Amino acid sequence: MKLTRLCYKLNDRLWFPNPDPNHSLLLDPTEEEEELLLEGKLEIPSYEELLKTLTPIDDMIAVEGDLRVERLLLAYRYGIFPWFSFRSGPIQWCAPIKRFVIFPDEIHVSHSMRTLKNKHVYRVTFNTAFDQVIRACSTVDGRINEDGAWLGDDIIEAYTKLHELGHARSVEVWRGEKLVGGLYGVAVRKGFVGESMFSLEPNTSKLALIALARQMQEQGGSLIDCQIRTPHLESLGGRYIEYKEYIDTLHGDKSVYEACKESPYLGPERPQ
């Protein structure tokens, strides 16, 4: 399905935003502006400037499209992710201009969490039960029945494909042989975009996140994208950063456009 981008008005002109500022499009250029565009002399607003025209609660930048691996990988490299009610659709693509993240080196482990960890009641594994984790995230506490539930069969199928290709990963917390907590998300260059987490026993999702942060510290990971702010995540050290810092941290010294071109799964034709 064709992706429909939303246009925004800046200085009474209509633009299609793009995180790579050189690819933002002016929808209604005058003849003079067309000449400047062709000569490369027209000042193109940045992604941040365009998104400042949105209301604070409106981070949606596109609708429709599909959940193909190629599109998802490209979206995550730009800091864009799908979020929509699977019962009512259509797919909505979000790119918050302020990102709520946890830097692995800043993970806050409270005294009570250290005590819980040191009791050795639970064990943590990585990438051993992705299907169980994503399905638990979908159904725990009746989430699947809530208005606006988003983790339906289409999302599960799409992210399972990402997992099979090594992009989506899970963290599991076990008591004996029982899965009692965990999280899953998408690994994007130096970062990890958390999609969902669950607990069947108190604080087990926190244990999963702390374990993820420790592993990322060891492996040189740069940030954990929490997508939304919650008191739970804030207590672990989550804080807001600007979009530019987010992209710079995610991709290091590469531009987001260079990083996107490197993906082996984009194929010869980019998603439209």
Q: For position 108, which CATH number holds?
A: 3.40.630.70
Domain end call among 97, 126, 161: 97
Which residues, including other chains, have CB under 8 Å from residue 209's CB and lie 6 or more apart? 102, 107, 171, 183, 194, 197, 224, 233, 236
Residue scoring higher pLDDT (68 or 45): 68
pLDDT of residue 55: 41
Strand partners, 3: 64
Is the pLDDT at 102 greater than 90, yes or no? yes
Average pLDDT over residues 137-165: 91
Domain end call among 97, 119, 150: 97
Judge if 115 and 179 occupy the same domain: yes
Sign for the CA dihedral angle at 96, 102, 108, 109 comes to positive
- Considering the domain boundaries, does residue 266 fall inside one? no
Neighbours of 214 (CB within 10 A): 14
Judge if 114 and 54 occupy the same domain: no
Per-residue pLDDT tens for 191-245? Answer: 999 999 999 999 999 999 999 999 999 999 999 999 989 998 999 999 999 888 8
Judge if 127 and 81 occupy the same domain: no
- Considering the domain boundaries, does residue 17 fall inside one? yes
- Considering the domain boundaries, does residue 268 fall inside one? no
Edge-to-edge strand ranges of the sheet holding 13-16: 8-10, 13-16, 25-26
Is the pLDDT at 107 greater than 50, yes or no? yes
Distances from the Cα of 141 to the Cαs of 137, 151, 193, in angstroms?
Answer: 9, 13, 23
Alpha-carbon span 255 to 23, nearest angstrom: 13
Judge if 115 and 211 occupy the same domain: yes
Judge if 14 and 143 occupy the same domain: no
Judge if 64 and 106 occupy the same domain: no
Q: Which of 212, 261, 243, 19 is nearest to 109 (CA)?
A: 212
Residue scoring higher pLDDT (135 or 145): 135
Is the pLDDT at 263 greater than 60, yes or no? no
- Considering the domain boundaries, does residue 119 fall inside one? yes
pLDDT of residue 29: 65
Judge if 27 and 131 occupy the same domain: no
Judge if 182 and 209 occupy the same domain: yes
Judge if 85 and 139 occupy the same domain: no
Residue scoring higher pLDDT (199 or 266): 199
User: For the chain, what is the domain count?
Assistant: 2
- Considering the domain boundaries, does residue 177 fall inside one? yes
Judge if 32 and 165 occupy the same domain: no
Range(s) of the domain holding residue 112: 100-261
Judge if 133 and 86 occupy the same domain: no
- Considering the domain boundaries, does residue 221 fall inside one? yes
- Considering the domain boundaries, does residue 239 fall inside one? yes
Average pLDDT over residues 82-108: 87
- Considering the domain boundaries, does residue 243 fall inside one? yes
Give the confidence band of 149 by pLDDT, cuts at 50, 70, 90: confident
Q: Average per-residue pLDDT in the chain? A: 82
Average pLDDT over residues 32-41: 74
Which residues, including other chains, have CB under 8 Å from residue 69's CB and lie 6 or more apart? 158, 161, 162, 165, 167, 265
Give the confidence band of 88 by pLDDT, cuts at 50, 70, 90: confident
Per-residue pLDDT tens for 166-189? Answer: 999 999 999 999 999 999 999 998
For the chain, percent of residues with pLDDT exceeding 70? 75
Judge if 213 and 125 occupy the same domain: yes
Q: What pTM did the predictor assign?
A: 0.76
Average pLDDT over residues 65-90: 84
pLDDT of residue 272: 32
